[in-house]
Structures are given as C-alpha cells and as structure tokens.
Structure 1
C-alpha cells in the first residue's frame, strides 16, 4: 500500500506528464487546470467530448483540487460559518461532507467513474466505509422470473 508521500508524488508526476496547469501547490493539496487528455482520463464526460470533437470548439477542461492531507486542508480552507454552503464549484455534493465538522469544501473531481459506477477518491470519514451508491434492489418486491413455454 502506498503512503501519503508516494501518492502525492505519483499524482504530481501524472499531472506533469499530462501537461496540466498547476494553479496552486501546497504540501496538503494541489489545484490544477486539467489538460484535455487528463480531463478525458479522470472525468466521465463522453457527451461533452463528443460535442467538442463534432463542433471543433476549444475544450473547457475542469479545475480539480487533489487533497493529500484532509486535516491540513480543512484547517487551511475552513468552511464558511453562519449558514449553508452556497452551491458552486467548491460546494460538497450531498453525502460528501465531513463527519461532525459541518460542511466541508470538496473538490469537483472527488468522483470518478469506473465501469459505469461512481468511485470516490477518498472516503469522507476515514473511519467509516463509504456507502454503496447502488444498493441491491429489495428482492421481496421483484416479480418471479418468467418461465419458458415448452412445446407440447
């Protein structure tokens, strides 16, 4: 298993190899404007990329914050006090806020897709296992399987 420094080194090498524009660099996190190839790799946006290819427009890639030390990141970027977090590029999606500390700013690239299912880059609470976004359907309400008619 990789430690935090190895993960940080791997992510930084990937971002540099993909020629992403580093906007803010800190030991606890890095904020980057993704290159088109990195955006295709990390974000599941097939309709957007097919639109870009068909029309030839200049692609607008996402800006992502990769957090390597969540505690330090929360100290450096405390959530706003006195009310709910306004929707925006740094607002946490529902169910992604930190446990017990109120809403936590979450980077827009917190979720990736793997085989059609969302994958979290890191759990919101390290002590808790992330819930399955696609729980199995209640089997008691499912109809009985159809049987094939046999020729007589």
Structure 2
C-alpha cells in the first residue's frame, strides 16, 4: 500500500491529442493535514475514500489506502469536506509501459495542468513525452490537499 508517484507540470496541451480516455472527478478532503489526508472522490457513478500518509524525504513515496464506497454515501461525505472541493478532468495516456495521468483543474484551480506517473520503484525509468515539463514531485504546493485550501488562481 505504498504509492510511488512523480508529478510534473506540462509545457502544452498536446496530451489531449493522445489521451485514451478521460474521467470527470470531484474530490474533497475530510482531513487535509499533510501527515494524513482523508479524501472523498466521485468519478462518474463511483465513490472512493482514500487515506494517504506523509510523503518520504524525496516526496515520491507515501502510504495510500483506497476503498470504493457507495456513490450516494460519497455524495453525502463531499458535503462534509473542508473548504474548497476540487473539480478536474483526468486524462490517461500510455507512455511506453506506463500510464500517465494528466489532471486539468477547473474552478479556483483553473489553468493548472499536472501529470502524474505511478512507478514500481523510486528509481524506475519511464518514457517522458515532449509535453512533460518541470518536475514538482515533493513540492507540497502541487498536492491536491494543498490546492483545495490555497487555490492555484490565487498564487
């Protein structure tokens, strides 16, 4: 249950031309403490509850536990979330043997585009498309729990 993930800013929207699918996501935080976040997520007709621990020194690895929950329960839990609820579209792109997930944010985080890639090992190499820019792994400003409280449009 350890998530190994790297995050990047994008240099363009070229990813949309190669995206294989997209999902509308609404998520909020019941607890956005960096040591332990508790997230509620709604996608299409599914609900999820996710708990994440504090990132390691590199910001690449952290504990993650996720469970699908009843859609109607997820909708009710969203109402209990702290401050801003995040709305985004997640695009999936195959790159070599990996899937890159690109989040396009809306509302108070409009204009933010983030790419994430999950790895099996912190030192695992992967094919990086041209539209992948600066790495922001470990920068807490790009955690969804942070931008729910500190919207990107106000930076």
- TM interval, short-chain normalised: under 0.3
- The TM-score, its normalising length taken from structure 2, stands at 0.24
Larger Rg: 1
Give the number of the structure whose residues are more often helix, by fraction: 1
Q: Which has the higher contact order (CA 8 A, sep 6+)?
A: 2
